[in-house]
A and B are shown apart, each in its own frame.
Chain A
Amino acid sequence: MSQTSSPYSNYIIQAEPTLHNPDNLKAGEMLLNMGPQHPSTHGVLRLEVITDGEIITDVVPHIGYLHRCFEKHAETRAYNLTIPFVDRMDYLAAMNSEHVWAMGVEKMLGIDGQLPRRVEFIRVLVAELNRIASHFLAIGTYAIDIGAYTPFLWMLRDREHIQRLLEWVSGARMLYNYIWIGGLYYDLPVGFEERCREFIDYLQPKLDEFEDILLKNKIFIDRTANIGVLPLNVAINYGCSGPMLRGSGLKFDLRRVDGYSVYPELEFDIPVGQGIMGTTGDCWDRNYIRALECRESSRIIRQCLDHLETDCKRTPDFDPQAMCPKKIRPKEQELYFRAETPRGELGYFFRATGKSDIPFRCKGRSPCFSNLSVLHEISRGCMVADMIAIVGSVDIVLGELDR
């Protein structure tokens, strides 16, 4: 830790001390600092890498560069005022984060399951749209990481449609504040259902197209298959969730397991990694899961649109804020509520005192946090260039990781 006596101290000038002391490295080993402004780290992630030639012997992530102490903020604001903060945690999937927060508070208030069905279907619809957008950005930037530029532009072009749809719904492109506790900010705009259906029809051939150009591409397979293999027992022990866990071959999706909101009524499959191009749990599997989940999400969106156009039709007297409580004061209790976001299990732990509109303690369990902690297990013994492929396949969002 101390760098005063080290001959390398002039070269490693940094705020955060490294875990490994450069003086104690073995012959031939090298301490390499990647980040926090490295382009392929998807934000401000710093990796301390010990390499032996080109082979990585250890990786130590240093996180916290984007730490805004969400939990401290949440202890000073009422439940409904925290929703914009929740948006800024996972800024690529803000609808999903809001959905989890709103469901957790509703469960504490005891109004879960009493919401109008139209509200529930709209929530699932926008959450799944955002899931597709998030997966598109994950796969697109992943393609850039390993040297494919064209698919990135294609995916951002298609993601733009989703962002415009969500802007039409909520007025914002990324940070929505649309799902409120007990309801929604506003009903869907007139004509949204038709436009959304058009988009899903447009999306289907695009999904085939990018699967052909990217995922079935020989170069892509060579770069990702058999790289960063995450065995299932390691994944569970490290608390991985979402596409990381499913990529390792476990059929575990909280939308099915917990069956929250209207998901039990909807038909969708849970894709799991099968090691088609290499070993189960490699980088290719994780990305293939994301691509398949986009197809499942578009199936869910179609079913939601069917419901929204038939049995939960728009009516003039429908008020999406009808169930919103005027005073959000849960009884004294502790609750851990979890749900599935594009990155995995997002959980909130609340403690309510029963005397205040402010949570006494609120902890956000971020899926990226647990997913990244497995990094040193799966990148030991691989090449430096492969580690970029592994970090990208974890799909981290630093805003959520650091909270």
Chain B
Amino acid sequence: MTYNELKDLLTEKFGAEIITGENTQNPQPFLNIKTDRLADVCQELFTNPQTYFDYLACITGLDNGPEVGTLEVIYNLYSIPYDHHLTLKVITERLTPTGALPTVPTVSHIWRTADWHEREAYDLVGINFTGHPDLRRILCAHDWEGHPLRRDYEWPEYYHGLKVRYDNHNEVNGFKGEFFKTFED
């Protein structure tokens, strides 16, 4: 099925309000899905014999930074028998008003591969997946503080008495990181 057919199918099934936005200019067009309906949409895409998205290739957590104030979760779905793709996206705020991590419903009961991908997104970006059976840190140590892929993340000085930022030879040499700044406009 093409992207437009998939979009029509979802609109027909769930109503137009679940799609909060889309981008068809992108080389891989994507749909923005309402956060609390994500699990229903994924269940439908997984079980419907016309779509049959049986392979969840990748889940990416993405922080847009404090200025924008949003987090995104991107799901790359693929159907092996039909050979079609779909990219879904969920956008939440960076922090809830109470200061807790934002929540996104889990899809690990549909695709078991989402289990580890969601743990990774929780670990590195800081997204709380509600309904996840075992949401622990996976790549960082269990007592690591903060979520390293957040834009406002600051490296700790010490971790269990070990100095984290050990390389000050750049400062000694007078190199202040100008090299990388030249790449930005």
Contact = CB atoms under 8 A, between A and B. Distances in A.
Interface of A: 15-17, 19, 63-64, 67, 69, 71-72, 75-78, 107-108, 236-239, 250, 252, 257, 333-336, 338, 345, 347, 349, 351, 355-358, 361, 363, 365, 369-370, 373, 402-403
A361 B57 contact: no
Interface in B20-58: 26-28, 30, 54-58
Contacts of B124: 69, 71
16 contacts: A19-B136, A64-B138, A67-B140, A72-B149, A107-B27, A108-B27, A236-B54, A336-B57, A336-B76, A338-B57, A356-B185, A361-B63, A363-B58, A373-B116, A402-B139, A403-B139
Nearest to B151: A75
Contacts of B57: 239, 336, 338, 345, 347, 365
B178 to A, nearest CB: 13
A237 B142 contact: no
Given A338-B57, A403-B139, A355 B112 contact: no
A78 B27 contact: no
Contact of B58 (A17, A257, A365): A365
B60 interface: yes
A358 B181 CA distance: 10
B112 A347 contact: no
Interface string B80-112: 100100010000000000000000000000011
A349 B75 CA distance: 11
A336 B115 CA distance: 20
B116 A15 contact: no
A370 B54 contact: no
Contacts of B87: 334, 336
Secondary structure of the B side of the interface? loop
Interface of B: 26-28, 30, 54-58, 60, 62-63, 74, 76, 80, 83, 87, 111-113, 115-116, 120, 124, 134, 136-142, 148-149, 180, 183-185
A74 to B, nearest CB: 11
Contacts of A257: 83
A69 B148 CA distance: 8
Given A355-B184, A356-B185, A370-B116, A239 B111 contact: yes
Pairs of residues from A and B, 7 with the lowest C-beta to C-beta distance, nearest first:
A239-B113, A357-B183, A64-B139, A365-B58, A363-B60, A67-B139, A373-B116
Contacts of B58: 336, 347, 349, 363, 365
Contacts of B148: 69, 72
A370 B116 CA distance: 8
Contacts of B111: 237, 239
Given A257-B83, A336-B57, 20 more contacts: A15-B142, A16-B141, A19-B136, A63-B139, A64-B140, A238-B113, A239-B56, A239-B111, A250-B80, A333-B26, A338-B57, A349-B74, A351-B62, A355-B185, A356-B183, A357-B184, A358-B183, A365-B57, A370-B116, A373-B113
Contacts of A349: 58, 60, 74, 76
A67 B140 CA distance: 7
Nearest to A69: B148
A69 B112 CA distance: 24
A89 B80 CA distance: 27
A373 B112 contact: yes
A356 B184 contact: yes
Nearest to B54: A236
A69 to B, nearest CB: 6
A347 B183 CA distance: 25
Nearest to A233: B54
B55 A335 contact: no
Nearest to B74: A349
B88 to A, nearest CB: 12
B108 to A, nearest CB: 10
A242 B134 CA distance: 27
A69 B141 CA distance: 12
A200 to B, nearest CB: 32
Contacts of A71: 124, 149
Given A237-B54, A355-B184, A347 B76 contact: yes
Contacts of A351: 62
Contacts of B185: 355-356
A356 B182 CA distance: 9
Contact of A369 (B83, B116, B136, B142): B116
Q: Which of A78, A345, A363 has the most CB of B within 10 A?
A: A363
Contacts of A357: 183-184
